[in-house]
Amino acid sequence: AELREGDPDFCQQMAEIFAHLDDSRRPVSLPLDLQGTAFQLQVWQALRQIPAGETRSYRQVAEHIGQPRAVRAVAGACAANSLAVIVPCHRVVRE
Protein backbone atom coordinates (compact mmCIF):
# COMPACT_ATOMS: atom_id res chain seq x y z
CA ALA A 1 0.00 0.00 0.00
CA GLU A 2 1.25 3.46 -0.76
CA LEU A 3 0.82 5.83 2.15
CA ARG A 4 1.04 9.57 1.70
CA GLU A 5 0.97 12.09 4.49
CA GLY A 6 -1.67 14.22 2.74
CA ASP A 7 -3.97 11.23 2.25
CA PRO A 8 -7.06 11.46 4.50
CA ASP A 9 -6.66 7.78 5.39
CA PHE A 10 -2.98 8.19 6.32
CA CYS A 11 -3.51 8.45 10.09
CA GLN A 12 -5.91 5.52 10.15
CA GLN A 13 -3.56 3.38 8.07
CA MET A 14 -0.56 4.24 10.24
CA ALA A 15 -2.57 3.51 13.39
CA GLU A 16 -3.43 0.08 12.01
CA ILE A 17 0.22 -0.66 11.25
CA PHE A 18 1.36 0.48 14.70
CA ALA A 19 -1.40 -1.57 16.36
CA HIS A 20 -0.16 -4.63 14.47
CA LEU A 21 3.41 -3.92 15.59
CA ASP A 22 2.20 -3.77 19.20
CA ASP A 23 0.21 -7.00 18.87
CA SER A 24 1.05 -9.27 15.93
CA ARG A 25 -2.15 -11.26 16.53
CA ARG A 26 -4.06 -8.25 15.28
CA PRO A 27 -4.54 -8.65 11.51
CA VAL A 28 -3.71 -5.90 9.04
CA SER A 29 -6.56 -5.20 6.63
CA LEU A 30 -4.81 -2.57 4.52
CA PRO A 31 -4.99 -3.09 0.78
CA LEU A 32 -1.61 -4.48 -0.22
CA ASP A 33 0.01 -4.10 -3.62
CA LEU A 34 2.38 -7.04 -3.39
CA GLN A 35 4.65 -7.45 -6.40
CA GLY A 36 5.88 -10.94 -7.17
CA THR A 37 5.38 -14.02 -9.29
CA ALA A 38 2.14 -15.97 -9.07
CA PHE A 39 3.99 -18.56 -6.97
CA GLN A 40 5.40 -15.94 -4.58
CA LEU A 41 1.97 -14.37 -4.14
CA GLN A 42 0.53 -17.81 -3.36
CA VAL A 43 3.23 -18.44 -0.74
CA TRP A 44 2.83 -14.98 0.80
CA GLN A 45 -0.93 -15.48 1.09
CA ALA A 46 -0.29 -18.79 2.88
CA LEU A 47 2.13 -17.05 5.26
CA ARG A 48 -0.53 -14.50 6.21
CA GLN A 49 -2.75 -17.41 7.30
CA ILE A 50 -0.26 -18.71 9.88
CA PRO A 51 -1.53 -17.60 13.30
CA ALA A 52 0.68 -15.43 15.49
CA GLY A 53 2.73 -17.53 17.88
CA GLU A 54 2.76 -20.53 15.55
CA THR A 55 5.32 -21.71 13.02
CA ARG A 56 5.29 -23.88 9.94
CA SER A 57 8.11 -25.60 8.11
CA TYR A 58 8.91 -24.79 4.49
CA ARG A 59 7.66 -28.29 3.68
CA GLN A 60 4.33 -27.65 5.43
CA VAL A 61 3.84 -24.41 3.49
CA ALA A 62 4.69 -26.19 0.23
CA GLU A 63 2.15 -28.90 1.02
CA HIS A 64 -0.45 -26.31 2.07
CA ILE A 65 -0.27 -24.60 -1.33
CA GLY A 66 -0.50 -27.95 -3.13
CA GLN A 67 3.14 -28.07 -4.28
CA PRO A 68 4.85 -30.53 -1.92
CA ARG A 69 8.05 -30.71 -4.00
CA ALA A 70 8.54 -26.91 -4.00
CA VAL A 71 10.20 -26.65 -0.58
CA ARG A 72 13.22 -24.69 -1.86
CA ALA A 73 10.99 -22.42 -3.93
CA VAL A 74 8.94 -21.66 -0.80
CA ALA A 75 12.18 -20.71 0.97
CA GLY A 76 13.05 -18.46 -1.97
CA ALA A 77 9.64 -16.79 -1.85
CA CYS A 78 10.11 -16.16 1.87
CA ALA A 79 13.50 -14.59 1.18
CA ALA A 80 11.97 -12.34 -1.51
CA ASN A 81 9.27 -11.04 0.84
CA SER A 82 9.74 -7.29 1.32
CA LEU A 83 6.88 -6.80 3.82
CA ALA A 84 7.98 -9.06 6.67
CA VAL A 85 5.96 -7.09 9.22
CA ILE A 86 2.71 -7.85 7.38
CA VAL A 87 3.65 -11.07 5.52
CA PRO A 88 5.20 -13.01 8.42
CA CYS A 89 8.00 -15.01 6.81
CA HIS A 90 9.59 -15.31 10.28
CA ARG A 91 6.88 -17.86 11.12
CA VAL A 92 8.39 -20.33 8.63
CA VAL A 93 11.30 -22.40 9.89
CA ARG A 94 13.50 -25.28 8.79
CA GLU A 95 12.51 -28.72 9.99
Q: Which residues are catalytic?
A: 89
**Cβ partners under 8 Å of residue 34, min gap 6:** 41, 44, 83, 87
Question: Which of 46, 32, 54, 53 lies closest to 74, judged by CA?
Answer: 46
Instruction: Please name the amino acid found at residue 57.
Output: S
